[in-house]
Amino acid sequence: MDVIKTQQIASRPIEKVIVHPLVLLSIVDNYNRVARDTNKRVVGVLLGSTFKGTVDVTNSYAVPFEEDEKDPRIWFLDHNYHESMFSMFKRINAKEHVVGWYSTGPKLRENDLDIHGFFNDYVPNPVLVIIDVQPKELGIPTKAYYAVEEVKENATQKSQKVFVHVPSEIAAHEVEEIGVEHLLRDVKDTTISTLATEVTGKLTALKGLDARLKEIHSYLDLVIDGKIPLNHEILYHLQDVFNLLPNLNVADLIKAFSVKTNDMMLVIYLSSVIRSVIALHNLINNKILNKEHEKAEDSKPVAVPATAGS
């Protein structure tokens, strides 16, 4: 049986997809309102601009969407609602155009190509951004794709559309950064101390670093075993990473690290002790004030009600 090879007949016009925080917040809100605690997904339209192969997604809105769980070929997307919403968004910001659509996946589905073809009527080369609203791993919760047509070398088979992955990243304007910062302050648990928050952040960062190191280790093992071809560009990047690492075998550097760590731990320890003493002092003062208040209430004369006929 001959292996049928495929060849992409379209060049890669899209090089990167940038998603803004406002889009992520809007999609998560849509999911929590419509499909929370279910196996359903939500679908919507992405608005933004395209410049030199970079798709900048700055806004989005949800679209009513239903699909049959048993037969993925049966689905409904309200295009009238989409056209009405887009006409209203266009009045607010004429620079934002339809650049594609989003799905909460969390992975590609069988009918995604059919839905993708629907958006070809509104934009020549739409992008699909899958947002993982419940991420289980550290990293960017977005995956971007666009469709290309593949033609079979065997002339008996017709060409077909396939999805091609494109890198995505999260970026924000200065105004958005300020808004996200205030939002994070509001959702932060006030019962947790600043020290605990910083330790949690460091632990999360270390977990992310550990995951990346394991990924590098597994890649190098596959290259050594000959299961995947050698990519010199990746090895050059890895060499750059190793070159930036400090030489921890130098005695002076080890001593400097130890002194710095001990100084930081001493400050953290003293801060915790002082905060505990202040909290205990405030508790004692509060109890003294309560006792004085109770004594003052007890020393007040009680008014005796007058009896009838007196």
- Residue 295: is its pLDDT beyond 50? yes
- Residue 100: is its pLDDT beyond 70? yes
- Residue 8: is its pLDDT beyond 50? no
- Residue 209: is its pLDDT beyond 80? yes
pLDDT number for residue 23: 92
pTM as predicted: 0.60
Mean pLDDT for all residues in the chain: 83
- Residue 236: is its pLDDT beyond 60? yes
Return d(Cα 143, Cα 19) in angstroms, integer: 10
Tens of pLDDT, residue by residue over 31-50, are: 999 888 888 899 999 999 99
Confidence of residue 212 (pLDDT cuts 50, 70, 90): confident
Helix (H) or strand (E) holding 60, with range, is strand 54-63
Q: Cα-flanking dihedrals φ and ψ of residue 285, to 5°? A: -60, -40
pLDDT number for residue 185: 65
pLDDT number for residue 136: 76
pLDDT number for residue 302: 64
Return d(Cα 32, Cα 48) in angstroms, integer: 24
- Residue 203: is its pLDDT beyond 70? yes
pLDDT number for residue 129: 94
- Residue 310: is its pLDDT beyond 50? no
pLDDT number for residue 154: 65
Confidence of residue 97 (pLDDT cuts 50, 70, 90): very high
